[in-house]
Chain A
Amino acid sequence: MLSQIRGLTKITVRRFWGKYGAGYLFVLPTVVLYLIFMVYPFCYTFYLSFTDWNGASPIKNFVGLANYARFFRDRLVWISLQHNLIWMTAGTVVPITLGLFLAMLLWGRPKGFLTFRTVYFLPQVLGAGILGVMWRLIYQPRRGVLFQIGQVLGIEAFRYSPIAYAHTALPAVMVAAIWASTGFFFVIMLAGLQNVDMDLMDAAQVDGADAWQRFRNVVIPQLSHVITLVTALALIGGIKEFGLIWAVTQGGPGNATEMIATHAYTEFSRHSDVGYASALTMLIAAIAFVFTMIFILVREREMEV
């Protein structure tokens, strides 16, 4: 009886393997990599956020929610969150608006379309390090590009390097970020505009809608999917922001450009406070997760309409 069952399962397994085995084999290496380099590290970070580990000692004490409770006492968390919020707001509204505006101007591929697209997208191929160095040259104290422009135009404020002063540092890095990211939103908007129904545009024109009404009531509703997508992307990118900030100001001067990510990185690399840094990175992941969920919900509702 037992051997019969065993024989049967053996046959079933063999048949199952013969039919589907190839599929699993194709996917297996990727799943293994994924488990090792993403799932395990993520779970381990989650675990570490409940300990007081310093990164080197063999002892990890379980401290419960102490690291998370520390958020409320850590002034820098609130300052960073504020900066992230400003960054996310300006980094969403400005480049998306600009990108849409430029895409509208180039809609229908007028003369010079390819050249303009090439140039607008160009900053996108640069990484954070090189962008940072480039903009440091522009913002250099006393002799930078901005200083020289100020000399020519007679603008007194440009005599001071904006990244050297607490009240101008964040806007200055944001200008660099907007300069670098507008091309991306522009290209996405351009792709979105290609799907706008031209018959509807013509119908609106025949009905006497002016350019603004056509934009407001025909183009925008048809772009709503794309706009939701890029808004979500900009928000998620904004909460994770690290590279450009680190390359230009490293969170300074003082804490004027501190972000959650730079704060977490400093806690990890300078203070070896692994437990607390883990909790901070979990905060980033949680906020990014919330934005993703909101995005999926909004998208589903849009699909229904």
Chain B
Amino acid sequence: MITIEQKMRKIESTTAAMARRQATASRRYRLLREVLNIIKYAILLVFAFIFIMPFVWSVFWALKTDLEIGRNPFSLPVPPRWENIPKVWIQGRYSQYLPNTLIYGFAITTGVCFFSCLAGYGLAKIAFPGRRLIFNFLLIGLMVPFFSLMIPLYTMMRDFGILGTRWALIIPGIGLGVPFGTFLMRSFFLSLPNELADAARIDGCNEWGVFAQVMLPLAGPGLTTLAVFEFMWTWNMFIEPLLFIQRDELRPVGLAIFFFQSRYTVDRGMVAAGILLTAAPIVIMYLLLQRKFIEGVTAGALK
């Protein structure tokens, strides 16, 4: 006959064994998780390296002479050759390209934001017959490729007598940006509550007053997303100025870098410094306003 004590001991030993087994299992599991975690971070780092290296090289090269780049392209720029930067600014004519880009950026962004805000609000918050139709009509514009518009736009600019001037980039830039802007602002205004507008209407506010005094002040987040996206878009314009702007001194940086590179094929330090001056402003803007960039590009995917 087994005493109670023996029974207790037996139970104890089995539970202890189970616990021990569990402990090794969980230790093994934890070890496995640790290893997986290390592999995961290794992969993430490799990709981070791949995505960031071309930027790092551009900065390094911008601060080296061509000879130094030839000797070792991957080394740190010691001592840094700052002289490439003023050379790009003056000889490389970036003192013209950068102000041009800012002019295009501000003009197109302001124009697109202005018209898109009005239309987006009208389509989202004012009921009128045919607004669904107008919205769908504008939506089709989002999928029309620029290429199937470029030839008439070119001849239009020529007939207006503004081909080769800044206006040839600004005016169609606004026209082509507005459908997407309207789409974005409409969905933003739709997310705002109707009660505020209705309250203002009951208080005797007319439609313009409701828009300007009640809704517009609330549109800040939507407007900044649109503005950031539009600004980035103008900064990077390539085919539009290639078509509409032939004079080098009117080119924006996004295209100027392309012609700049062919002027300095033998001096890689200069080309890299050109890349640096073209990319740095927009990259800094991205680092500061990252969320807005991601929002804008995600929504702009439809453009």
Q: Report which A residues bind B (CB closer than 8 A).
A: 19-20, 22-27, 29-31, 33-34, 36-42, 44-45, 48, 55, 102, 105-106, 110, 112, 115-116, 118-130, 132-138, 140, 143, 145, 148, 179, 182-184, 187-188, 191, 229-230, 233, 236, 239-240, 242-243, 246-247, 261, 264-265, 268-269, 274, 277-278, 281-282, 284-285, 288-289, 292
Contacts and interface: CB of A to CB of B under 8 A. Distances in A.
Interface of B: 40-41, 43-44, 47-48, 50-52, 54-55, 57-58, 61, 69-70, 73-74, 115-116, 118-119, 121-123, 126-129, 131, 134, 137-138, 141, 143-153, 155-156, 172, 174-176, 178-179, 182, 206-208, 211, 232, 235-239, 242-243, 253-258, 260-261, 268, 271-272, 274-275, 278-279, 282-283, 285-287, 290, 293-294, 297-298, 301-302
B301 to A, nearest CB: 5
Nearest to A242: B239
B141 A38 contact: yes
A135 B294 CA distance: 24
A26 B118 contact: yes
B293 A125 contact: yes
B293 A22 contact: no
B54 A134 contact: yes
Contacts of B144: 38, 42, 285
Nearest to A151: B73
A27 B123 contact: yes
Contacts of B255: 129
Given A183-B51, A188-B298, A278 B151 contact: yes
B164 to A, nearest CB: 14
Nearest to B111: A33
Contact of A243 (B127, B232, B239, B272): B239
24 contacts: A20-B129, A22-B126, A22-B206, A22-B207, A26-B126, A30-B138, A36-B175, A37-B175, A42-B152, A45-B149, A121-B294, A122-B55, A127-B237, A129-B258, A130-B275, A133-B271, A137-B58, A145-B73, A242-B147, A246-B242, A261-B147, A264-B147, A281-B151, A288-B143
Contacts of A129: 236, 238, 254-258, 278
Contact of A34 (B44, B148, B179): B179
Contacts of B52: 119, 122
A120 B282 contact: no
A179 B268 contact: no
Contacts of A136: 261
Nearest to A115: B48
B258 A285 contact: no
Contacts of B283: 122, 125
Contact of A130 (B119, B122, B254): B254
Contacts of A40: 152
Q: Which 4 residue pairs spanning A and B have beta carbons closest together?
A: A127-B236, A26-B122, A37-B175, A23-B128
Given A33-B175, A128-B236, A42 B148 contact: yes
A240 B148 CA distance: 10
Given A45-B148, A137-B57, A182-B51, 10 more contacts: A23-B207, A27-B119, A27-B123, A30-B178, A36-B175, A41-B156, A110-B40, A130-B253, A134-B54, A179-B50
Contacts of A25: 122
B208 A37 contact: no
Contacts of B57: 137-138, 145
Contact of A29 (B58, B119, B147, B293): B119
B54 to A, nearest CB: 5
B32 to A, nearest CB: 12
Contacts of A38: 141, 144, 149, 175-176, 179
Given A45-B149, A130-B278, A134-B275, A31 B174 contact: no
Nearest to B176: A37
B134 A133 contact: no
Contacts of A120: 47-48, 51
A105 B258 contact: no
Nearest to A44: B152
A105 B285 CA distance: 27
Contacts of B298: 187-188, 191
Given A22-B206, A105-B44, A285-B148, A126 B279 contact: yes
Given A33-B175, A233-B301, A130 B141 contact: no
Contacts of B138: 30-31, 34
A135 B55 CA distance: 11
Contacts of B55: 122
A42 B123 contact: no
Given A125-B232, A133-B261, A285-B144, A48 B151 contact: yes
A249 to B, nearest CB: 12
Contacts of B239: 128, 242-243, 246, 265
A118 B74 CA distance: 23
A119 B51 contact: yes
B40 A105 contact: yes
Contact of B274 (A36, A133, A247, A284): A133
A247 B257 CA distance: 10
Most chain B CB within 10 A, of A115, A118, A125, A243, is at A125
B177 to A, nearest CB: 9
